[in-house]
Chains A and B, each alone.
Chain A
Amino acid sequence: MLELTGITAGYDRGRPVVRDMSLAVADGEALGLLGPSGCGKSTLARVAALLHTPWAGSVRLAGETVTGHRFRAPRHQRTAIGVVFQQPRLAADPRLRLRDLIAEPARATGRGRELADRAAALADAAGLGAELLRRRPHEVSDGQLQRACLARALLLRPRLLICDEMTAMLDASTTAALVALVEDYRKEQGAALLAVGHDRVLLGRWCDSVREWDGDGNPAGAELLTQE
């Protein structure tokens, strides 16, 4: 499904955050990326989500080589990946009501009408009632907002879901609800998952395999842990 080969990426010239890193997620597989803060796992996730242009290395998505990132990536490649970010506050446009937030990708791709029912069903599955859907991001809790962000990420039926510390800011019951929502979706669509986090227990239970690297910021020395 997704293949990253020899990725080197960073933000400031000459100081790479990710160095020569490779990674593959098979169709339907759930891979966890585990590591301390600042080790580059989020940067790698952003490269995988086609949101950050790597300095070197190649990205292959569903057998196609990705030739550009962000706006340069063709729309079908971008929408094949659903992304959930760590901080829902920052990942939600403060002016959009939750209803519009969830429907946003459908409207951006000109499928607003076609996917209206799916948006409603997802909001319902995420436990967001009609009253909540009328509110704006600053009027709901982090957990409620993250549910809406997850619904938004699932709207276009992505074949790969990337969750970058999706539950890091949330309590245990909301975490469980969100993970259950992701798992229901994956069972239904056979989608792959790349989950980034630092919660060893959660990722260990959630993912088929977990890739961990230590805190020296050098992911080249990563080891592979496989869970039953």
Chain B
Amino acid sequence: MSSSAGANGAPVKSTGLHVGEPAPGVKKVDPIIVADGIKRQFGGLTAVDVEHLEIPRGAITALIGPNGAGKTTLFNLLTGFDKPNEGTWTFDGQSISGVPAFRVARKGQVRTFQLTKALGLLTVLDNMKLGAKGQSGESLARALFPWFWRKEEEAIEERALDLLARFKLDGKKDDYAASLSGGQRKLLEMARALMSEPTLVMLDEPMAGVNPALTQSLLDHILNLKKEGMTVLFVEHDMHMVRHIADWVVVMAEGRVVAEGDPHEVMANPAVIDAYLGSHHDQDLGEPDTDVVTAIKELAHDDADESKH
């Protein structure tokens, strides 16, 4: 367990992030992202319709919701990978509405993908080096003359090796990224994102397809990001993980933010249960989705566990 763990083994949670009662669109003390009136329609379907949303700085925020709630679409919009029909949003006080993805990344808001995008036929080390920002050797004119960028390249390599060692991938540095396992690719993608020294790290389902042995180390890495002063926003289905590491939870359903709050309170919110089970969940409409029921039961169980401490 990392040193960010509290006395009882649970990570230290950031509190006092919001102003007033937790409700959808509640004001934050120090928001890093402020989004207003974001709407994205695919034909007749409104995938995202968020009136107001603030993401607190220096904390770990989870974005949860049932499949098709618009979480990834919102991610794509905030990172410039998709353009909304309407809406404005700022990052660190600067407007980044309509700014292309690569500029958003340069401002310090870096993302990973739900389907891991390791660059297969590049070595692990090259994957890492690619993450570094503002390399002069990446300009065509200077690329031809190594003496312009050799020193910088050495510094980048040192930083990359350091990060790889932290993520326990240093033994693989000369292998093609394609030879890594699914979980290792997730680690590599996260490490690569860190090479750009971001202020906000956006992780799209960091736990999807990761075997349980790696889960703990991934969780620790995410907690470490916060400890180093970065803000984390992640999409996740694994409620256990959300409860464990998130300081703040935003719940989406059918494109809207239906609830916000700290993880324990928000799970008990009727709007959240409605979002996952439908508003008629107490009426017998046949067999519900067993996965969701298990997840909810686990949560209730967790809550009971923790209240005993």
- B is a partner of A: no
